[in-house]
Structure 1
């Protein structure tokens, strides 16, 4: 796992595209947010968003031999931007999960917690982003 930073995103890390990396991403993001002075309740919300987007990257965006990347951007006291990028070509769709379904609620949760969210193309794959208020 490689931790780096660049303008606009003070924290960035890549993860192998396997289920156990979702937990690793949650722990790493929480630590980074708390180290940057983000309130614990806000960090919890951001970690939940990261968890859902990372799980989607592993489940739906996995390409053998490719990693997924998580980036966190801090916009002063206003908001935190989460970006999860993967090499998959399938775009997420906000839908309604059946009451008995065990999956399909991730983006519904992200949409409920985030002020905004969306998807953009990358040279390879896509980036799913969300903005969470502080």
Structure 2
């Protein structure tokens, strides 16, 4: 078993890509041994949906694509990142704005904390950012030998 497995996909910044990103991550997690019906898989799919939606909606056309990276480190830690080239980092919106939208980062923060994980944002060389979630790999989930993409 490799100490490190990874897969990534680059998608156009358009609404249809959100579902593609979610399916991509679900397939990778399944190949690595995390059952599709597991609560952890559900949470990761939801977080990826929220991050991909942010990459599509909040980059204002300045990021024609976004990338989803999935990494499994030593069968201990799962890292999922969504990268876009827009310079603005995610931030909480005022409660009044959150009535119709703007709850994505709150959802991601809650799910990450609930799973014992961590949320971080790192700058990219081109002036954009990657929003990372790092989660413990669920106990008892075997890490398969799925191929990286």
**TM norm. shorter chain > 0.5:** yes
Q: Structure 2 length normalisation: TM-score?
A: 0.76
Shift in alpha-carbon separation, 1:8–1:121, aligned structure 2, 3 A: farther
Aligned length: 128
Which of structures 1 and 2 has the larger relative contact order (alpha carbons within 8 angstroms, sep 6+)? Answer: 2
Correspondence for 1:104 = 102
Distance in 2, Cα, partners of 1:112 & 1:39:
22
Please give the TM-score of this superposition, normalised by the length of structure 1: 0.84
Q: Determine whether 1:91 maps to 2:89.
A: yes
In angstroms, what is the RMSD of aligned CA positions?
Answer: 2.2
SS in structure 2 of the partner of residue 131 of structure 1 = strand
* Unpaired segments ≥5 residues, structure 2: 139-149
Structure with the higher fraction of residues in strand conformation:
1
Partner of residue 31, structure 2: 35
* Moved segments of 4+, more than 6 Å: none
How far does residue 132 in structure 1 lie from its aligned partner after superposition? 2.3
Aligned partners of 1:113 and 1:132 also within 8 Å: no
Deviations 1:22-46 (A, max 9, x none): 0111111101110111133221111
Asked if 2 retains the 8 angstrom alpha-carbon contact of 1:95 and 1:108, the reply is no
Where structure 1 has 5 or more consecutive residues not aligned to the other structure, the ranges are 1-6
CA contact (8 A) 1:9 1:71 kept: no
